[in-house]
């Protein structure tokens, strides 16, 4: 029987910018990628999301990003390796402290936005992020794009890894995501998305934008918490998977 994780990017709300419904998503997902504050969220809001994750039995992951609040962490930055490593270490430490304060613990790391997509291709920057994870806690699992360079670097460094696919994003034939700058990069039809994710869970494939099937070996499915209709999409994916006998469970330890 197939088993897969369902995750969402959470902890991204702040008084001046509310982007998602964390409470509703935490009743659906099995893992929560929680903002570390650099790209979104506030300490108080992040703490509340962590507490809700603990209450719902949802696994907690750190979601570090470039220091880019105005751009929501989606603008590429070319930091030296030492600076990038320190910035990620700082974020992991902050989230681990808040998680401990509410009776939880961070069990994995999933970089956010431009940092995520960059290290899927850039080995130097991937090494800096992996070095940060190892320095803070070598027992953390690294969650990254299936087929990306970052997971290879993490494996080489001795970290546990998990690969993910994106429910609400379009794929290129090479297995990478269609850039958000292109039309059709973000998917919105929840029924279609649910069917795509069922094929992923059962067959290990996703239909690319050119109509071909791309092989994706993924242990987790991501729904972006800030996407319009995120709750509807996540619920549709979970219902479709469970109706077909797919087990939903976190790839990393619960708190």
Q: Which residues pair with 60 in a beta bridge?
A: 32, 106
Task: Please tell me the distance from the alpha carbon of residue 207 to that of residue 15, in angstroms, as a whole number.
Answer: 38
CA quadruple 153, 254, 67, 128: dihedral, nearest 10: -20
**CB contact set of 78 (below 8 Å; sequence gap of 6+):** none
Please name which of 244, 251, 243, 242 lies closest in space to residue 221, comparing C-alpha atoms. 251
Q: Which residues pair with 165 in a beta bridge?
A: 221
pLDDT reported for residue 1: 59
pLDDT reported for residue 141: 98
* 3-248: CATH number: 3.20.20.370
Task: Express each pLDDT in 207-255 by its tens digit.
Answer: 999 999 999 999 999 998 888 899 999 999 999 999 999 999 999 876 5
Q: What is the mean pLDDT of residues 11-27?
A: 96
pLDDT reported for residue 176: 85
Task: Express each pLDDT in 30-47 by its tens digit.
Answer: 999 999 999 999 999 999
Find tokens 């067959």 and name the residue.
203
**CB contact set of 195 (below 8 Å; sequence gap of 6+):** 240
Contact 125, 116 (CB under 8 A): no
201 pLDDT more than 90: yes
Q: What is the mean pLDDT of residues 186-211?
A: 95
pLDDT reported for residue 228: 83
CA quadruple 15, 42, 53, 146: dihedral, nearest 10: 110
Backbone angles phi, psi at 2, to 5 degrees: -70, 145
pLDDT reported for residue 252: 86
Mean pLDDT for all residues in the chain: 95
Q: How far is CA 226 from CA 11, 38, 121, 240, in A?
A: 10, 16, 24, 22
pLDDT reported for residue 251: 93
Please name which of 116, 123, 110, 109 lies closest in space to residue 180, comparing C-alpha atoms. 116
pLDDT reported for residue 149: 96
Q: Which two tokens stand for residue 112?
A: 């956010």
Q: What is the mean pLDDT of residues 54-82?
A: 97
Which sequence spans correspond to the domains of the chain?
A: 3-248
Task: Express each pLDDT in 107-155 by its tens digit.
Answer: 999 999 999 999 999 999 999 999 999 999 999 999 999 999 999 999 9
pLDDT reported for residue 217: 93
Nearest-5° angle of CA 164, CA 170, CA 175? 55
pLDDT reported for residue 255: 58
């Amino acid at each position: 029987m197939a088993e897969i994780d369902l995750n969402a990017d959470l902890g991204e709300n702040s008084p001046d910018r509310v982007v998602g419904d964390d409470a509703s998503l935490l009743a659906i997902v099995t893992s929560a990628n929680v903002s570390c504050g650099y790209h979104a969220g506030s300490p108080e809001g992040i703490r509340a999301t962590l507490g809700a994750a603990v209450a719902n039995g949802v696994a907690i992951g750190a979601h570090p990003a470039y220091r880019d609040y105005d751009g929501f962490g989606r603008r590429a930055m070319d930091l030296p390796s030492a600076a990038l490593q320190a910035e990620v270490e700082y974020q992991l430490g902050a989230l681990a402290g808040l998680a401990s304060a509410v009776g939880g613990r961070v069990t994995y790391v999933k970089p956010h936005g431009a940092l995520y997509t960059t290290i899927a291709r850039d080995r130097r920057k991937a090494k800096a992020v992996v070095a940060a994870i190892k320095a803070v806690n070598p027992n953390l699992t690294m969650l990254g794009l299936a087929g990306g360079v970052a997971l290879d670097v993490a494996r080489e460094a001795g970290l546990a890894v998990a690969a993910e696919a994106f429910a609400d994003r379009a794929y290129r034939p090479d297995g990478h995501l269609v850039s958000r700058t292109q039309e059709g990069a973000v998917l919105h039809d929840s029924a279609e998305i649910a069917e795509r994710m069922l094929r992923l869970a059962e067959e290990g494939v996703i239909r690319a934008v050119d109509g071909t099937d791309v092989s994706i070996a993924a242990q987790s499915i991501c729904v972006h918490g800030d996407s319009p209709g995120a709750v509807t999409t996540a619920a549709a994916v979970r219902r479709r998977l469970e109706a077909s006998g797919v087990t939903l469970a976190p790839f990393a330890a619960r708190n």
